Amino acid sequence: MKKNMINSRNKGLAFEREIARKMRPYFPNAKRGLQYQAGEYVPDVVGTPFYIECKRGKKFLSVNFGTGKSKQFNPANASHMFVICNYYYDRMLKYNDDQTVIIVWKLDRKPIQVTIYKPSWKLGEKLMPQSTNTMSWEEWEESIKMDFST
């Protein structure tokens, strides 16, 4: 059992490094965030204008809410993604309150997906609800090219 835990941890770290590498053409300073050096609220990928968290799982995404125990979430379930996004949004507020929360995730033998989180916001006097938008890595990369290419 312990060997599987080590392998899943290594898989997660490798995924963080992979995403940082994929971001470098658009954000040359992108690299894996080091929570053990810079603090617990540092995102998995730093050097971008986003708060990027990377999740890698077999069939479900696992999130540790600081309790020492991880919970499993089905990324196909929108309410599950809201729970994950809200958790990382709260962490982002403790790190830097001016970033969009991005969850980059991948299940085994499936393509990389990107979920963008928009918290509740005001439009005049009306409170707009929180929302998430999930897209493929390729769609995300195209939007980055349009918005951040020099």
Answer yes or no: is 148 within a domain.
Answer: no
Q: What is the mean pLDDT of the chain?
A: 83
Domain encompassing residue 93:
2-141
Q: Is 105 inside a domain boundary?
A: yes
Spatial neighbors of 109 by CB under 8 A, at least 6 apart, are: none
Q: Which of 145, 72, 77, 70 is nearest to 115 (CA)?
A: 77
pLDDT for 1 equals 47
Question: Within a domain: residue 126?
Answer: yes
Mean pLDDT of 23-52: 86
Q: Is the pLDDT reported for residue 24 higher than 60?
A: yes
CATH of the domain at 124: 3.40.1350
Q: What is the pTM of this model?
A: 0.81
What is the number of structural domains in the chain?
Answer: 1
Q: Tell me the pLDDT tens digit for each residue of 65-95.
A: 777 778 888 888 878 888 888 888 888 888 7
- Residue identified by tokens 């982002």 is 92
The pLDDT confidence band at residue 6, using thresholds 50, 70 and 90, is low
Q: Please enumerate in sequence order all residues whose Cβ is within 8 A of that of 53, keeping only pairs 6 or more positions apart, or say none.
A: 43, 44, 88, 101, 102, 103, 104
Q: Is the pLDDT of residue 39 over 70?
A: no
Tell me if 149 is assigned to some domain: no
pLDDT the model gives residue 88: 85
The helix or strand, by DSSP H or E, that contains position 50, with its residue range, turns out to be: strand 50-57
For the residues 115-136, what does the mean pLDDT come to?
80
Question: Is residue 146 domain-resident?
Answer: no
Q: What is the DSSP letter of 129?
A: P
106, part of any domain: yes
Which of the residue ranges 47-51, 57-61, 95-99 has the most confident prediction, judged by mean pLDDT?
A: 47-51
